[in-house]
Amino acid sequence: MSLKDLNALSCPLSSEQLKALEQALGDLSPLQQAWVSGYLYAKNASGQIAPTTAATSSAHVTILYASQTGNAKAVAEQLFEKAQQQNVPVQLQNVADYKPKSLKKEQFLVMVASTNGEGEPPDDAMEFHEFLVSKKAPKVPELRYAILSLGDSSYEHFCKCGVDFDERLSALGATALLARVDCDLDYEQPASQWQQELLEILKAQASELVAEQPVALTSPSVASTKYDRAHPAVATVLTNQKITGRNSLKDIRHLEFDLEGVGLTYQSGDALGVWFENDAVLVDELLAVLSLDGEQTVVVDEQSATLKTALIQSYELTQTPPGFVEFWADRSGADELLQLKAQKPLLREYAATHQIIDVVSAYPAQVPADELLAALRRLTPRMYSIASSQSDVEDEVHLCVAVVSFEQGQALRFGGCSGFLSRLGEGQNVKIFVEPNQNFKLPQDDSTPVIMIGPGTGIAPFRAFLQERDAKGASGDNWLFFGNPHFTEDFLYQSEIQGYVKSGLLSRIDLAFSRDQADKIYVQDRLRERSKDVYDWLANRGAHLYVCGDATRMAKDVEQTLLSIASEQGQMSQQEAKDWLKSLRRDKRYQKDVY
C-alpha cells in the first residue's frame, strides 16, 4: 500500500506528516524500511499499529562470544560493527549473559568461541556449554547458525569448544549457514574471510532479517582507547631489571614502560600484548642452514620486503606448530618425522620442544623462500599479565617476565618474546597494547576479602591488585599465597610484599619455597594446611579467590585442593563440592588467569 492509498483511508496523520514520512522513507533501503516497521511495532506497547508481515515473521542475528583473554570478543565486536554497517540487524552478547533457554527462539545464531587450556570452554561459557551438551538442550530445527573457533594447534584439543558447539547444535537439528572455521594463533586473516562470507550469506536472508526491537540491540563494550592488537602503541623502556638472585635457575625480569603522552590506559587484571621481533642472529643461522639469500625480495601482506626482514618481523620462529613439522617431514622425507605424523601426541611433544631452526637443521632439505614462508605461522603478540595498577604508577605499565631458555644439543635457545624483552635496553621502543580481561577483576566492593594464589610470575597481577587496594584504601582483607624454588634467590618483589605485610595491607601471607627443604612444598600444600580458614573466608566471609600461573599443573592442583577443602570443611559430597566451586566461578568469586 502506498502513502497515497494510506491517505485515502481514515489516516490519523496530517498531509504534512505524511509528506515528511515519505521523504524520510525515500532514503531507506527495503531492509531499512522493514526495520523501521518492526521498530514502530515494538515501540507501540498498545499494539494499535498493525505490524507488517515482514515484522511479524522477523528475526535478528544473535552474536555470542565465548572469550577468555579477549580475542574472541574482539572478533565478535568486529563482526557486530560490520553487520551494522551493512544493515544486518544484530545483537551482541557475552555468552555468560545469554539465557540458554532462549536458544529455541533464535533463528540466526553466530558464535565466536575460544578454547581454554586443554579443550575447556572459557569461564564465561561453562554454563552455556554444560546446558548445550545436556539433555535439557531443546531441539532447534528452525535455527541457522555459524561458528568461528579460536585456539592453538599446539594443544591436543585444538578449538574443542567451538567444535563442541558446532556438533551439539547440529545434533539438535540446527543448520549451519557455512562450515565452521578453526583458527590458530594467527587468526586475523581467516577470521576476516569468515566474517565476509558470513555477512554475504546473511544479507541474502534480508527478507527474514528485521530487528524486532532495535532499541534493545547491545552495543559492543569496546575499550576507550585508540590502540589495539592491529594498532599498537609505541612505548619506551624505562627499566629492565633482573629480580632473581645471581644463583637462581630462573631469569625473571621486571620491566617498566613509559606511557606519558601515549594515552594508553588499563585496569588491574588486564593483560599487555607485546609485539616482538625475532633475534637477527637466529634468523641469520636459519638462512645459512637453508642456503637462502636474506636479501632476496618476498611479499608479505602485499608489501615487498627482504627475506631477512620478513623472518625477523613477520613470522614465528620460536614456537613450532605441529603443522610445520608435518610440512618438513614431507619436504625432507626424514623417516623420524614421517613417523611422528602418524603419532599425534609425540608430534605435539616434538613440536613443543624444538624450534624451527632445530627441525630444519636436524633434517636438511631445500625449499624456496615462498614455500618456507607459506609453511610458517605468522608472528603473533605475546600476552603478559600486567604487574602494576595505574592508580599507583600512573603513566607507566609494568611486567614481570620469565625469560624462556633451554639447551638444544649444543645450542641455547630463547623464547621469542621473552628473549626479545630481555635484550631491550633503557630508552628503546616496544609496540604494546592492552587486552582487557573482564574475567580477572577485583570485587567492586572494596570491603570484600580476596585470596590470591600466584607462584612464580603468577605474582604479577597480584602486585597490581595490592597496589590498587592500597591506592584506594580498600578495607577488605588480602591473603597471598606465593611460591618459588628458593627464598634467597626467587622471592619476587620481596621488599614490596614485606612492606605490605608491615602496613597491614596484606592481612595474611603463606610462602612455599619448594627447594628449601627435603620435601618439596608448593602453594597447593600451603592451601591445604590452611583449609579451615580458606573455607571460612570463602563460605562465610564472601571472599573472592584468584589463581594466576601455570595451567598444566599448578592451577589443576589448586583446584583439586579446593575441592578437597569443600568436601572436608563443608561436609560436601564430591559432586556437591564441584557444584559449589562452579557456583563460585559463576558468581565471579573464583577467577583464573592461567597459561
More confident site: 311 or 116: 311
Say whether pLDDT at 47 is over 50. no
The verdict on 333 and 365 lying in the same domain is yes
Position 226 scores a pLDDT of: 79
H-run or E-run covering 526: helix 523-529
Name the grid cell of 467.
597496589
Say whether pLDDT at 535 is over 50. yes
* CATH number, position 163: 3.40.50.360
225 in a structural domain: no
Binned at pLDDT 50, 70 and 90, residue 155 comes out as confident
Binned at pLDDT 50, 70 and 90, residue 221 comes out as very low
Say whether pLDDT at 3 is over 90. no
Say whether pLDDT at 198 is over 70. yes
Binned at pLDDT 50, 70 and 90, residue 29 comes out as very low
| Cα 85 → chain centroid | 25
Segment 179-197 shows an average pLDDT of 95
What Å distances lie between residue 421 and 242, 268, 431, 589, CA to CA?
11, 22, 11, 33
Q: Tell the residue number behind the cell numbers 563440592, with chain if given.
A: 577
Binned at pLDDT 50, 70 and 90, residue 49 comes out as very low
Binned at pLDDT 50, 70 and 90, residue 205 comes out as confident
Least confident interval from 150-159, 203-212, 442-451 = 203-212
Position 496 scores a pLDDT of: 98
Position 124 scores a pLDDT of: 83
Greatest C-alpha distance within the chain:
96
302 in a structural domain: yes
Across 88-92, 127-131, 204-208, 309-313, which has the greatest mean pLDDT? 309-313
Position 123 scores a pLDDT of: 82
Please tell me the total count of domains within the chain.
Answer: 5
Position 254 scores a pLDDT of: 98
- Locate the DSSP E strands across 403-504: 405-408, 411-414, 429-435, 450-453, 478-484
Q: Which residues contact 29 (CB under 8 A, 6 or more apart)?
A: 87
Find the radius of gyration of the CA atoms of the chain: 27
The verdict on 156 and 286 lying in the same domain is no
Q: Which amino acid is at 391?
A: S
What CA–CA distance (Å, rounded) separates 474 from 472? 5
What CA–CA distance (Å, rounded) separates 313 from 177? 37
404 in a structural domain: yes
Segment 322-337 shows an average pLDDT of 97
Say whether pLDDT at 31 is over 60. no
What CA–CA distance (Å, rounded) separates 590 from 54? 46
238 in a structural domain: yes
Say whether pLDDT at 56 is over 50. no
The verdict on 141 and 63 lying in the same domain is yes
What CA–CA distance (Å, rounded) separates 96 from 352? 33
Report whether 34 contacts 208 (CB < 8 A). Answer: no
399 closest CA partner among 417, 379, 378, 380: 417
Position 583 scores a pLDDT of: 94
Position 162 scores a pLDDT of: 96
| Cα 156 → chain centroid | 18
Paired residues of 382 in beta bridges = 274
* CATH number, position 501: 3.40.50.80
- Locate the DSSP E strands across 130-289: 144-150, 175-176, 181-183, 233-242, 252-258, 271-275
The verdict on 70 and 84 lying in the same domain is yes
H-run or E-run covering 351: helix 344-353
Say whether pLDDT at 13 is over 90. no
Say whether pLDDT at 20 is over 70. no
340 in a structural domain: yes
What CA–CA distance (Å, rounded) separates 441 from 587? 12
Vertex 493 angle, CA 491 and 499, to 5°: 110
Burial code (b: 16+ CB inside 10 Å, e: under 16) for 518-533 equals: eeebbbbbbbbebbeb
Position 213 scores a pLDDT of: 41
The verdict on 187 and 151 lying in the same domain is yes
Say whether pLDDT at 494 is over 90. yes
Say whether pLDDT at 377 is over 90. yes
The verdict on 556 and 588 lying in the same domain is yes
What residue numbers bound the domain in which 466 lies?
450-594
What CA–CA distance (Å, rounded) separates 190 from 376? 15
More confident site: 219 or 555: 555
Q: Which residue, 375, 405, 427, sits at the end of a domain? A: 375
What CA–CA distance (Å, rounded) separates 228 from 226? 7
450 closest CA partner among 585, 271, 589, 268: 589
The verdict on 548 and 584 lying in the same domain is yes
The verdict on 63 and 48 lying in the same domain is no
Say whether pLDDT at 244 is over 80. yes
More confident site: 245 or 43: 245
Name the grid cell of 543.
571472599
What CA–CA distance (Å, rounded) separates 326 from 313? 24
The verdict on 119 and 138 lying in the same domain is yes
Binned at pLDDT 50, 70 and 90, residue 52 comes out as very low
More confident site: 44 or 465: 465
Q: Which residue, 356, 375, 394, sits at the end of a domain? A: 375
441 in a structural domain: no
Say whether pLDDT at 453 is over 70. yes
Binned at pLDDT 50, 70 and 90, residue 214 comes out as very low
Say whether pLDDT at 18 is over 80. no
The verdict on 588 and 562 lying in the same domain is yes
What CA–CA distance (Å, rounded) separates 453 from 464? 13
Say whether pLDDT at 556 is over 80. yes
Report whether 277 contacts 313 (CB < 8 A). Answer: yes
The verdict on 366 and 311 lying in the same domain is yes
Q: Tell the residue number behind the cell numbers 574472541, with chain if given.
A: 72
Say whether pLDDT at 39 is over 50. no
Count of other CB atoms within 10 angstroms of residue 59? 19
Count of other CB atoms within 10 angstroms of residue 558? 24
Segment 261-288 shows an average pLDDT of 97
271 closest CA partner among 429, 387, 168: 387
Report whether 65 contacts 125 (CB < 8 A). Answer: no
63 in a structural domain: yes
The verdict on 41 and 76 lying in the same domain is no
Position 389 scores a pLDDT of: 98
Name the grid cell of 85.
554497517
* CATH number, position 295: 1.20.990.10
Binned at pLDDT 50, 70 and 90, residue 439 comes out as confident
Least confident interval from 174-178, 218-222, 541-545, 560-564 = 218-222
Q: Which residue, 375, 403, 425, sits at the end of a domain? A: 375
Name the grid cell of 46.
498498545
Position 21 scores a pLDDT of: 63
Say whether pLDDT at 433 is over 90. yes
Q: Which residues contact 433 (CB under 8 A, 6 or more apart)?
A: 227, 228, 229, 231, 232, 233, 264, 272, 273, 381
22 in a structural domain: yes
Binned at pLDDT 50, 70 and 90, residue 51 comes out as very low
Report whether 166 contacts 160 (CB < 8 A). Answer: no
Say whether pLDDT at 222 is over 90. no
What CA–CA distance (Å, rounded) separates 132 from 383? 31
Position 48 scores a pLDDT of: 38
Q: Tell the residue number behind the cell numbers 540458554, with chain if given.
A: 100
Position 410 scores a pLDDT of: 87
